[in-house]
Structure 1
Amino acid sequence: MTAPDSPAEAAPRKAGFGKQQVIALIITLVVLVIVFARVLPQLGDYEVAWAAIQDLSTAWMGAILVATVANILIYVLPYMAALPGIRYWRAFVVRQTSFMISNAIPAGGAIGLGVQYAMLSGYGIGPAPTTAVIGITSTWNTFVTLGLPIIALAGLAASGQASAEAATIAVIGLLVIVIAVVLFALILRKEETARRIGDWGGRVIARLARIIKKDLDLDIGGAVVHFRASIIGVVARRWHVITLTNVLQQLAQFHQLRIKFRLPLHVIRA
Protein backbone atom coordinates (compact mmCIF):
# COMPACT_ATOMS: atom_id res chain seq x y z
CA MET A 1 0.00 0.00 0.00
CA THR A 2 1.29 3.45 -0.86
CA ALA A 3 2.24 5.55 2.14
CA PRO A 4 0.12 8.66 2.69
CA ASP A 5 3.04 10.97 2.07
CA SER A 6 4.73 9.03 -0.70
CA PRO A 7 5.72 10.98 -3.81
CA ALA A 8 3.48 8.80 -5.91
CA GLU A 9 0.40 10.00 -4.08
CA ALA A 10 1.43 13.44 -2.91
CA ALA A 11 2.65 14.63 -6.30
CA PRO A 12 0.03 16.08 -8.66
CA ARG A 13 -1.27 13.47 -11.09
CA LYS A 14 -2.96 15.82 -13.51
CA ALA A 15 -3.18 19.45 -14.45
CA GLY A 16 -5.88 21.63 -15.84
CA PHE A 17 -8.81 23.74 -14.81
CA GLY A 18 -11.50 21.27 -13.86
CA LYS A 19 -14.87 21.30 -12.17
CA GLN A 20 -13.40 21.60 -8.68
CA GLN A 21 -11.46 24.74 -9.61
CA VAL A 22 -14.53 26.29 -11.21
CA ILE A 23 -16.58 25.69 -8.05
CA ALA A 24 -13.77 27.03 -5.85
CA LEU A 25 -13.42 30.10 -8.08
CA ILE A 26 -17.15 30.84 -7.88
CA ILE A 27 -17.12 30.48 -4.10
CA THR A 28 -14.08 32.75 -3.89
CA LEU A 29 -15.72 35.46 -6.00
CA VAL A 30 -18.90 35.29 -3.92
CA VAL A 31 -16.89 35.60 -0.71
CA LEU A 32 -14.97 38.58 -2.12
CA VAL A 33 -18.21 40.36 -2.92
CA ILE A 34 -19.58 39.64 0.56
CA VAL A 35 -16.38 40.81 2.26
CA PHE A 36 -15.98 44.09 0.37
CA ALA A 37 -19.66 44.94 -0.02
CA ARG A 38 -21.06 43.82 3.34
CA VAL A 39 -18.45 42.89 5.95
CA LEU A 40 -15.80 45.60 5.66
CA PRO A 41 -18.25 48.54 5.49
CA GLN A 42 -19.60 47.44 8.88
CA LEU A 43 -16.11 47.58 10.39
CA GLY A 44 -15.06 50.93 8.98
CA ASP A 45 -15.53 53.59 6.35
CA TYR A 46 -13.64 53.36 3.05
CA GLU A 47 -13.37 57.14 2.74
CA VAL A 48 -11.98 57.53 6.26
CA ALA A 49 -9.52 54.71 5.67
CA TRP A 50 -8.34 56.25 2.39
CA ALA A 51 -7.93 59.65 4.05
CA ALA A 52 -5.82 58.04 6.79
CA ILE A 53 -3.66 56.31 4.19
CA GLN A 54 -3.08 59.60 2.39
CA ASP A 55 -1.85 61.13 5.66
CA LEU A 56 0.91 58.52 5.97
CA SER A 57 4.45 59.37 5.04
CA THR A 58 6.23 57.49 2.28
CA ALA A 59 8.32 55.64 4.86
CA TRP A 60 5.27 54.40 6.75
CA MET A 61 3.53 53.41 3.53
CA GLY A 62 6.60 51.45 2.48
CA ALA A 63 6.90 49.72 5.86
CA ILE A 64 3.25 48.66 5.86
CA LEU A 65 3.43 47.49 2.25
CA VAL A 66 6.57 45.42 2.80
CA ALA A 67 5.23 43.86 6.01
CA THR A 68 1.87 43.04 4.41
CA VAL A 69 3.36 41.50 1.27
CA ALA A 70 5.87 39.51 3.34
CA ASN A 71 3.09 38.22 5.58
CA ILE A 72 1.01 37.12 2.59
CA LEU A 73 3.94 35.39 0.90
CA ILE A 74 5.15 33.66 4.07
CA TYR A 75 1.66 32.48 5.02
CA VAL A 76 1.80 29.71 2.41
CA LEU A 77 5.11 28.20 3.57
CA PRO A 78 3.67 25.94 6.33
CA TYR A 79 1.34 24.46 3.72
CA MET A 80 4.24 23.65 1.42
CA ALA A 81 6.20 22.17 4.32
CA ALA A 82 3.33 19.82 5.15
CA LEU A 83 2.63 18.89 1.52
CA PRO A 84 5.95 18.15 -0.20
CA GLY A 85 5.88 18.54 -3.95
CA ILE A 86 3.13 21.12 -4.29
CA ARG A 87 4.07 24.22 -6.26
CA TYR A 88 4.13 27.59 -4.55
CA TRP A 89 1.38 29.21 -6.62
CA ARG A 90 -1.02 26.30 -6.15
CA ALA A 91 -0.38 26.22 -2.42
CA PHE A 92 -0.80 30.00 -2.32
CA VAL A 93 -4.21 29.89 -4.02
CA VAL A 94 -5.51 27.06 -1.82
CA ARG A 95 -4.21 28.60 1.40
CA GLN A 96 -5.44 32.13 0.77
CA THR A 97 -8.82 31.03 -0.58
CA SER A 98 -9.60 28.76 2.36
CA PHE A 99 -8.36 31.39 4.84
CA MET A 100 -10.58 34.07 3.35
CA ILE A 101 -13.64 31.83 3.32
CA SER A 102 -13.03 30.57 6.87
CA ASN A 103 -12.78 34.07 8.30
CA ALA A 104 -15.31 35.99 6.22
CA ILE A 105 -18.58 34.06 6.32
CA PRO A 106 -20.60 32.14 8.93
CA ALA A 107 -19.62 28.46 9.14
CA GLY A 108 -16.72 29.40 6.91
CA GLY A 109 -14.41 26.87 8.53
CA ALA A 110 -16.39 23.91 7.21
CA ILE A 111 -16.80 25.50 3.79
CA GLY A 112 -13.11 26.39 3.63
CA LEU A 113 -12.23 22.80 4.47
CA GLY A 114 -14.36 21.53 1.61
CA VAL A 115 -12.83 24.06 -0.76
CA GLN A 116 -9.34 22.86 0.18
CA TYR A 117 -10.27 19.27 -0.62
CA ALA A 118 -11.86 20.29 -3.92
CA MET A 119 -8.96 22.46 -5.06
CA LEU A 120 -6.27 19.95 -4.09
CA SER A 121 -8.24 17.18 -5.78
CA GLY A 122 -8.38 19.32 -8.90
CA TYR A 123 -4.59 19.60 -8.76
CA GLY A 124 -4.35 15.81 -8.73
CA ILE A 125 -3.50 15.43 -5.05
CA GLY A 126 -5.10 12.42 -3.39
CA PRO A 127 -7.22 12.34 -0.23
CA ALA A 128 -4.45 10.94 2.00
CA PRO A 129 -1.94 13.79 1.54
CA THR A 130 -4.82 16.28 1.58
CA THR A 131 -5.96 14.98 4.96
CA ALA A 132 -2.36 15.05 6.17
CA VAL A 133 -1.68 18.65 5.18
CA ILE A 134 -4.90 19.90 6.76
CA GLY A 135 -4.27 17.97 9.97
CA ILE A 136 -0.63 19.02 10.22
CA THR A 137 -1.16 22.72 9.49
CA SER A 138 -4.10 22.91 11.90
CA THR A 139 -2.21 21.18 14.72
CA TRP A 140 1.02 23.12 14.33
CA ASN A 141 -0.79 26.42 13.91
CA THR A 142 -2.64 25.83 17.17
CA PHE A 143 0.51 24.92 19.08
CA VAL A 144 2.55 27.84 17.74
CA THR A 145 -0.25 30.40 17.99
CA LEU A 146 -0.92 29.54 21.63
CA GLY A 147 2.65 28.72 22.54
CA LEU A 148 4.55 31.81 21.42
CA PRO A 149 2.55 34.35 23.49
CA ILE A 150 2.78 32.10 26.54
CA ILE A 151 6.54 31.71 26.09
CA ALA A 152 6.88 35.48 25.69
CA LEU A 153 4.83 36.07 28.84
CA ALA A 154 6.91 33.51 30.71
CA GLY A 155 10.04 35.35 29.59
CA LEU A 156 8.67 38.63 30.93
CA ALA A 157 7.75 36.94 34.20
CA ALA A 158 11.23 35.40 34.53
CA SER A 159 12.84 38.81 34.00
CA GLY A 160 10.57 40.45 36.57
CA GLN A 161 8.70 42.57 34.02
CA ALA A 162 5.29 40.98 34.58
CA SER A 163 2.80 41.23 37.42
CA ALA A 164 2.15 38.36 39.80
CA GLU A 165 -1.14 37.58 38.04
CA ALA A 166 0.54 37.54 34.63
CA ALA A 167 3.32 35.34 35.98
CA THR A 168 0.77 32.85 37.32
CA ILE A 169 -1.03 32.77 33.99
CA ALA A 170 2.29 32.26 32.22
CA VAL A 171 3.22 29.30 34.42
CA ILE A 172 -0.19 27.66 33.99
CA GLY A 173 -0.19 28.26 30.25
CA LEU A 174 3.34 26.94 29.89
CA LEU A 175 2.43 23.76 31.77
CA VAL A 176 -0.62 23.24 29.55
CA ILE A 177 1.44 23.69 26.39
CA VAL A 178 4.15 21.32 27.64
CA ILE A 179 1.58 18.66 28.54
CA ALA A 180 -0.12 19.04 25.15
CA VAL A 181 3.18 18.75 23.27
CA VAL A 182 4.23 15.69 25.30
CA LEU A 183 0.89 13.98 24.65
CA PHE A 184 1.16 14.78 20.95
CA ALA A 185 4.70 13.37 20.84
CA LEU A 186 3.53 10.19 22.57
CA ILE A 187 0.70 9.85 20.06
CA LEU A 188 3.18 10.07 17.22
CA ARG A 189 5.63 7.66 18.82
CA LYS A 190 3.52 4.49 18.82
CA GLU A 191 0.12 3.48 17.51
CA GLU A 192 -0.62 1.56 20.71
CA THR A 193 0.14 4.63 22.81
CA ALA A 194 -2.02 6.76 20.53
CA ARG A 195 -4.96 4.41 21.04
CA ARG A 196 -4.49 4.39 24.81
CA ILE A 197 -4.41 8.18 24.98
CA GLY A 198 -7.47 8.39 22.75
CA ASP A 199 -9.37 5.82 24.82
CA TRP A 200 -8.47 7.70 28.00
CA GLY A 201 -9.73 10.92 26.47
CA GLY A 202 -12.91 9.15 25.42
CA ARG A 203 -13.54 7.96 28.97
CA VAL A 204 -13.03 11.48 30.31
CA ILE A 205 -15.47 12.90 27.77
CA ALA A 206 -18.01 10.17 28.56
CA ARG A 207 -17.82 10.92 32.29
CA LEU A 208 -18.28 14.63 31.69
CA ALA A 209 -21.24 13.87 29.43
CA ARG A 210 -22.89 11.79 32.13
CA ILE A 211 -22.77 14.80 34.44
CA ILE A 212 -25.18 16.56 32.09
CA LYS A 213 -27.13 13.31 31.68
CA LYS A 214 -25.98 12.42 28.19
CA ASP A 215 -24.61 9.09 27.05
CA LEU A 216 -21.86 9.23 24.46
CA ASP A 217 -20.30 6.26 22.71
CA LEU A 218 -17.31 7.72 20.90
CA ASP A 219 -14.36 5.83 19.49
CA ILE A 220 -11.82 8.52 20.34
CA GLY A 221 -9.03 5.95 20.36
CA GLY A 222 -9.78 4.93 16.79
CA ALA A 223 -10.00 8.57 15.70
CA VAL A 224 -6.62 9.37 17.25
CA VAL A 225 -5.03 6.34 15.58
CA HIS A 226 -6.49 7.40 12.24
CA PHE A 227 -5.21 10.95 12.73
CA ARG A 228 -1.75 9.63 13.60
CA ALA A 229 -1.67 7.40 10.53
CA SER A 230 -2.59 10.34 8.29
CA ILE A 231 0.27 12.59 9.40
CA ILE A 232 3.06 10.38 10.79
CA GLY A 233 4.95 9.94 7.52
CA VAL A 234 5.30 13.64 6.77
CA VAL A 235 5.83 14.68 10.39
CA ALA A 236 8.60 12.11 10.95
CA ARG A 237 10.62 13.52 8.06
CA ARG A 238 9.71 17.21 8.08
CA TRP A 239 8.69 18.20 11.62
CA HIS A 240 11.56 20.69 11.87
CA VAL A 241 10.63 22.40 8.59
CA ILE A 242 6.96 22.47 9.57
CA THR A 243 7.80 24.00 12.94
CA LEU A 244 10.17 26.59 11.48
CA THR A 245 7.71 27.76 8.83
CA ASN A 246 4.88 28.04 11.35
CA VAL A 247 7.04 30.12 13.70
CA LEU A 248 8.10 32.29 10.76
CA GLN A 249 4.46 32.80 9.80
CA GLN A 250 3.55 33.92 13.31
CA LEU A 251 6.52 36.28 13.50
CA ALA A 252 5.53 37.83 10.16
CA GLN A 253 2.02 38.47 11.46
CA PHE A 254 3.42 39.91 14.69
CA HIS A 255 5.76 42.22 12.78
CA GLN A 256 2.90 43.50 10.64
CA LEU A 257 0.80 44.17 13.74
CA ARG A 258 3.75 45.83 15.47
CA ILE A 259 4.18 48.29 12.61
CA LYS A 260 0.50 49.20 12.71
CA PHE A 261 0.63 49.82 16.45
CA ARG A 262 3.52 52.23 15.89
CA LEU A 263 1.66 54.33 13.35
CA PRO A 264 1.27 58.05 14.12
CA LEU A 265 -1.51 58.59 16.66
CA HIS A 266 -3.69 60.72 14.38
CA VAL A 267 -3.74 57.92 11.80
CA ILE A 268 -4.76 55.30 14.37
CA ARG A 269 -7.58 57.53 15.66
CA ALA A 270 -8.84 58.02 12.12
Structure 2
Amino acid sequence: MTTRRTAGRTAIIGAGVMGETLLSGLLRAGRAPEQLVVVEKRAERADELAARYGVEVVPDVAAAAAADTVLLVVKPQDMAGVLAEVGPALEPGRLVVSLAAGITTSFIEQHVAAGVAVVRVMPNTPALVDEGMAALSPGTHCDAEHLAEAEALLASVGRVVHVPEAQQDAVTAISGSGPAYVFFVVEAMVEAGVHLGLPRTVAHELAVQTLVGSAAMLRETGEHPAVLREQVTSPGGTTAAALRELEVHGVRAAFLAALEAARDRSRQLGS
Protein backbone atom coordinates (compact mmCIF):
# COMPACT_ATOMS: atom_id res chain seq x y z
CA MET A 1 0.00 0.00 0.00
CA THR A 2 1.35 3.45 -0.91
CA THR A 3 1.03 6.58 1.19
CA ARG A 4 1.02 10.17 0.14
CA ARG A 5 3.77 12.51 1.27
CA THR A 6 2.66 15.16 3.72
CA ALA A 7 4.85 18.14 2.78
CA GLY A 8 2.07 19.65 0.69
CA ARG A 9 4.38 21.13 -1.94
CA THR A 10 2.99 21.96 -5.37
CA ALA A 11 5.02 22.24 -8.56
CA ILE A 12 3.78 24.22 -11.56
CA ILE A 13 5.26 23.11 -14.87
CA GLY A 14 4.61 25.84 -17.40
CA ALA A 15 4.91 29.50 -16.50
CA GLY A 16 2.80 31.00 -19.26
CA VAL A 17 -0.35 33.05 -18.69
CA MET A 18 -2.36 30.25 -17.04
CA GLY A 19 0.59 28.95 -15.05
CA GLU A 20 1.29 32.39 -13.61
CA THR A 21 -2.43 32.91 -13.00
CA LEU A 22 -2.56 29.76 -10.86
CA LEU A 23 0.63 30.73 -9.07
CA SER A 24 -0.67 34.17 -8.09
CA GLY A 25 -4.10 32.74 -7.22
CA LEU A 26 -2.64 30.12 -4.90
CA LEU A 27 -0.58 32.75 -3.11
CA ARG A 28 -3.63 34.99 -2.69
CA ALA A 29 -5.55 31.98 -1.38
CA GLY A 30 -3.02 31.56 1.41
CA ARG A 31 -0.41 29.13 0.08
CA ALA A 32 3.04 29.97 1.40
CA PRO A 33 5.72 30.70 -1.23
CA GLU A 34 7.85 27.86 0.12
CA GLN A 35 5.01 25.45 -0.70
CA LEU A 36 5.31 26.28 -4.40
CA VAL A 37 7.93 25.63 -7.04
CA VAL A 38 7.76 26.71 -10.68
CA VAL A 39 9.54 25.09 -13.62
CA GLU A 40 10.74 27.66 -16.14
CA LYS A 41 13.70 27.07 -18.44
CA ARG A 42 14.06 30.67 -19.67
CA ALA A 43 16.43 32.41 -17.27
CA GLU A 44 14.98 35.90 -17.72
CA ARG A 45 11.42 34.69 -17.14
CA ALA A 46 12.57 32.62 -14.13
CA ASP A 47 14.19 35.66 -12.53
CA GLU A 48 11.02 37.69 -13.15
CA LEU A 49 8.78 35.12 -11.45
CA ALA A 50 11.10 34.62 -8.50
CA ALA A 51 11.31 38.37 -7.89
CA ARG A 52 7.59 38.96 -8.30
CA TYR A 53 6.28 36.08 -6.18
CA GLY A 54 9.15 35.01 -3.95
CA VAL A 55 8.91 31.37 -5.02
CA GLU A 56 11.57 28.88 -6.07
CA VAL A 57 11.94 28.67 -9.84
CA VAL A 58 13.91 25.79 -11.36
CA PRO A 59 14.84 24.92 -14.96
CA ASP A 60 14.71 21.13 -14.56
CA VAL A 61 11.32 19.52 -15.20
CA ALA A 62 12.33 16.35 -13.37
CA ALA A 63 12.99 18.38 -10.21
CA ALA A 64 9.25 19.01 -9.95
CA ALA A 65 8.68 15.32 -9.23
CA ALA A 66 9.70 15.88 -5.61
CA ALA A 67 6.48 17.83 -5.05
CA ASP A 68 3.32 16.15 -3.77
CA THR A 69 1.24 17.73 -6.53
CA VAL A 70 2.43 18.50 -10.05
CA LEU A 71 0.42 20.91 -12.18
CA LEU A 72 1.00 20.41 -15.91
CA VAL A 73 0.15 23.76 -17.50
CA VAL A 74 1.64 23.08 -20.92
CA LYS A 75 0.42 22.94 -24.51
CA PRO A 76 -1.08 19.62 -25.62
CA GLN A 77 1.67 19.10 -28.18
CA ASP A 78 4.32 19.50 -25.44
CA MET A 79 2.75 17.04 -23.00
CA ALA A 80 4.53 13.89 -24.17
CA GLY A 81 7.94 15.55 -23.89
CA VAL A 82 7.22 16.90 -20.41
CA LEU A 83 5.94 13.53 -19.21
CA ALA A 84 9.06 11.84 -20.56
CA GLU A 85 11.09 14.05 -18.21
CA VAL A 86 8.94 14.12 -15.10
CA GLY A 87 7.01 10.85 -15.35
CA PRO A 88 9.73 8.37 -14.37
CA ALA A 89 10.49 10.32 -11.18
CA LEU A 90 6.90 10.41 -9.89
CA GLU A 91 6.14 7.99 -7.06
CA PRO A 92 2.79 6.26 -6.50
CA GLY A 93 0.48 8.43 -4.44
CA ARG A 94 1.59 11.67 -6.04
CA LEU A 95 -1.00 13.83 -7.75
CA VAL A 96 -0.71 15.07 -11.34
CA VAL A 97 -3.18 17.75 -12.44
CA SER A 98 -3.28 18.37 -16.19
CA LEU A 99 -4.67 21.56 -17.70
CA ALA A 100 -3.88 20.63 -21.31
CA ALA A 101 -6.84 20.58 -23.70
CA GLY A 102 -7.67 17.18 -25.12
CA ILE A 103 -5.08 15.21 -23.14
CA THR A 104 -6.77 12.27 -21.42
CA THR A 105 -6.02 10.88 -17.98
CA SER A 106 -5.25 7.52 -19.58
CA PHE A 107 -2.57 9.10 -21.78
CA ILE A 108 -0.86 10.58 -18.72
CA GLU A 109 -1.24 7.35 -16.74
CA GLN A 110 0.63 5.52 -19.50
CA HIS A 111 3.64 7.77 -18.87
CA VAL A 112 3.79 7.58 -15.07
CA ALA A 113 4.10 4.81 -12.50
CA ALA A 114 1.05 2.79 -11.52
CA GLY A 115 -0.62 4.41 -8.56
CA VAL A 116 0.10 8.01 -9.54
CA ALA A 117 -3.19 9.91 -9.30
CA VAL A 118 -4.22 12.00 -12.31
CA VAL A 119 -6.88 14.70 -12.58
CA ARG A 120 -7.80 16.32 -15.89
CA VAL A 121 -8.89 19.94 -15.79
CA MET A 122 -10.32 22.33 -18.34
CA PRO A 123 -9.90 25.90 -17.04
CA ASN A 124 -10.55 29.20 -18.79
CA THR A 125 -8.92 32.62 -18.93
CA PRO A 126 -11.29 34.53 -16.59
CA ALA A 127 -9.16 32.84 -13.92
CA LEU A 128 -6.94 35.89 -14.51
CA VAL A 129 -9.48 37.94 -12.55
CA ASP A 130 -10.49 35.13 -10.13
CA GLU A 131 -13.66 34.43 -12.13
CA GLY A 132 -12.47 31.26 -13.83
CA MET A 133 -14.55 28.17 -14.56
CA ALA A 134 -12.80 24.82 -14.24
CA ALA A 135 -14.16 21.32 -14.85
CA LEU A 136 -12.40 18.40 -13.15
CA SER A 137 -12.36 14.70 -14.05
CA PRO A 138 -10.55 12.03 -11.99
CA GLY A 139 -8.34 9.32 -13.44
CA THR A 140 -8.04 5.66 -12.45
CA HIS A 141 -6.03 6.07 -9.24
CA CYS A 142 -7.57 9.34 -8.04
CA ASP A 143 -9.28 9.13 -4.64
CA ALA A 144 -11.42 11.69 -2.80
CA GLU A 145 -8.37 13.30 -1.18
CA HIS A 146 -6.64 13.79 -4.51
CA LEU A 147 -9.77 15.24 -6.06
CA ALA A 148 -10.29 17.61 -3.12
CA GLU A 149 -6.73 18.89 -3.50
CA ALA A 150 -7.21 19.48 -7.23
CA GLU A 151 -10.45 21.32 -6.52
CA ALA A 152 -8.76 23.52 -3.91
CA LEU A 153 -6.04 24.45 -6.39
CA LEU A 154 -8.50 25.55 -9.07
CA ALA A 155 -10.93 27.15 -6.61
CA SER A 156 -8.21 29.72 -5.84
CA VAL A 157 -9.01 31.38 -9.19
CA GLY A 158 -12.73 30.75 -9.67
CA ARG A 159 -15.43 28.11 -9.64
CA VAL A 160 -15.12 24.36 -10.04
CA VAL A 161 -17.44 21.59 -11.26
CA HIS A 162 -16.88 17.84 -11.54
CA VAL A 163 -17.75 16.06 -14.80
CA PRO A 164 -17.17 12.58 -16.26
CA GLU A 165 -14.11 12.66 -18.48
CA ALA A 166 -16.22 11.77 -21.52
CA GLN A 167 -17.75 15.25 -21.23
CA GLN A 168 -14.46 17.16 -21.17
CA ASP A 169 -14.42 17.87 -24.90
CA ALA A 170 -17.85 19.47 -24.58
CA VAL A 171 -16.63 21.47 -21.58
CA THR A 172 -13.70 22.68 -23.68
CA ALA A 173 -16.12 23.85 -26.35
CA ILE A 174 -18.37 25.74 -23.92
CA SER A 175 -16.23 27.22 -21.16
CA GLY A 176 -12.65 26.55 -22.21
CA SER A 177 -13.06 28.37 -25.52
CA GLY A 178 -16.13 30.28 -24.35
CA PRO A 179 -14.45 33.56 -23.37
CA ALA A 180 -13.37 34.02 -27.00
CA TYR A 181 -16.98 33.77 -28.17
CA VAL A 182 -18.03 36.39 -25.61
CA PHE A 183 -15.22 38.74 -26.64
CA PHE A 184 -16.17 38.20 -30.28
CA VAL A 185 -19.79 39.21 -29.57
CA VAL A 186 -18.73 42.27 -27.56
CA GLU A 187 -16.34 43.27 -30.34
CA ALA A 188 -19.21 43.03 -32.84
CA MET A 189 -21.50 45.11 -30.59
CA VAL A 190 -18.87 47.82 -30.22
CA GLU A 191 -18.28 47.97 -33.97
CA ALA A 192 -22.03 48.15 -34.55
CA GLY A 193 -22.27 50.98 -32.02
CA VAL A 194 -19.62 52.94 -33.88
CA HIS A 195 -21.46 52.27 -37.14
CA LEU A 196 -24.62 53.67 -35.54
CA GLY A 197 -22.83 56.89 -34.62
CA LEU A 198 -21.55 56.35 -31.07
CA PRO A 199 -18.00 57.28 -30.01
CA ARG A 200 -15.93 54.08 -29.69
CA THR A 201 -15.25 54.64 -25.98
CA VAL A 202 -18.95 55.03 -25.26
CA ALA A 203 -19.88 51.99 -27.36
CA HIS A 204 -17.24 49.95 -25.53
CA GLU A 205 -18.47 50.96 -22.08
CA LEU A 206 -22.09 50.31 -23.02
CA ALA A 207 -21.34 46.84 -24.38
CA VAL A 208 -19.02 45.76 -21.56
CA GLN A 209 -21.26 46.91 -18.73
CA THR A 210 -24.27 45.35 -20.43
CA LEU A 211 -22.37 42.05 -20.53
CA VAL A 212 -21.27 42.32 -16.88
CA GLY A 213 -24.76 43.23 -15.71
CA SER A 214 -26.43 40.51 -17.73
CA ALA A 215 -24.01 37.88 -16.39
CA ALA A 216 -24.71 39.07 -12.83
CA MET A 217 -28.46 38.71 -13.44
CA LEU A 218 -27.99 35.16 -14.71
CA ARG A 219 -25.92 34.19 -11.68
CA GLU A 220 -27.91 35.98 -8.99
CA THR A 221 -31.46 35.29 -10.17
CA GLY A 222 -30.92 31.70 -11.23
CA GLU A 223 -33.47 32.24 -13.99
CA HIS A 224 -33.27 30.44 -17.31
CA PRO A 225 -31.72 32.77 -19.93
CA ALA A 226 -34.86 32.47 -22.05
CA VAL A 227 -36.93 33.91 -19.19
CA LEU A 228 -34.59 36.87 -18.79
CA ARG A 229 -34.53 37.41 -22.54
CA GLU A 230 -38.32 37.49 -22.67
CA GLN A 231 -38.39 40.09 -19.89
CA VAL A 232 -36.42 42.44 -22.14
CA THR A 233 -38.38 41.65 -25.29
CA SER A 234 -41.57 43.68 -25.61
CA PRO A 235 -43.95 42.58 -28.39
CA GLY A 236 -43.21 44.57 -31.53
CA GLY A 237 -40.41 46.47 -29.82
CA THR A 238 -36.78 47.21 -30.62
CA THR A 239 -35.40 44.07 -28.97
CA ALA A 240 -37.87 41.85 -30.84
CA ALA A 241 -36.76 43.45 -34.12
CA ALA A 242 -33.11 42.81 -33.30
CA LEU A 243 -33.65 39.20 -32.20
CA ARG A 244 -35.58 38.50 -35.39
CA GLU A 245 -32.54 39.54 -37.41
CA LEU A 246 -30.27 37.29 -35.32
CA GLU A 247 -32.58 34.35 -36.00
CA VAL A 248 -32.81 35.17 -39.71
CA HIS A 249 -29.00 35.16 -39.91
CA GLY A 250 -28.78 31.82 -38.13
CA VAL A 251 -26.83 32.99 -35.09
CA ARG A 252 -28.18 30.20 -32.87
CA ALA A 253 -27.26 27.55 -35.46
CA ALA A 254 -23.86 29.17 -35.95
CA PHE A 255 -23.12 28.86 -32.23
CA LEU A 256 -24.04 25.18 -32.30
CA ALA A 257 -21.78 24.58 -35.29
CA ALA A 258 -18.96 26.56 -33.64
CA LEU A 259 -19.14 24.57 -30.40
CA GLU A 260 -19.24 21.29 -32.32
CA ALA A 261 -16.10 22.37 -34.18
CA ALA A 262 -14.36 23.20 -30.89
CA ARG A 263 -15.39 19.84 -29.42
CA ASP A 264 -14.10 17.98 -32.46
CA ARG A 265 -10.78 19.83 -32.33
CA SER A 266 -10.43 18.94 -28.66
CA ARG A 267 -10.88 15.28 -29.58
CA GLN A 268 -8.24 15.60 -32.30
CA LEU A 269 -5.75 17.09 -29.84
CA GLY A 270 -6.30 14.14 -27.53
CA SER A 271 -5.65 11.62 -30.29
Regarding TM over 0.5, the answer is no
Greater fraction strand? 2
Greater fraction helix? 1
TM-score of Structure 1 vs Structure 2, range by shorter chain: under 0.3
Q: Taking CA–CA contacts closer than 8 Å with sequence separation of 6 or more, which of the two structures ends up with the larger relative contact order? A: 1
What TM-score, normalized by structure 1, do the two folds share? 0.26
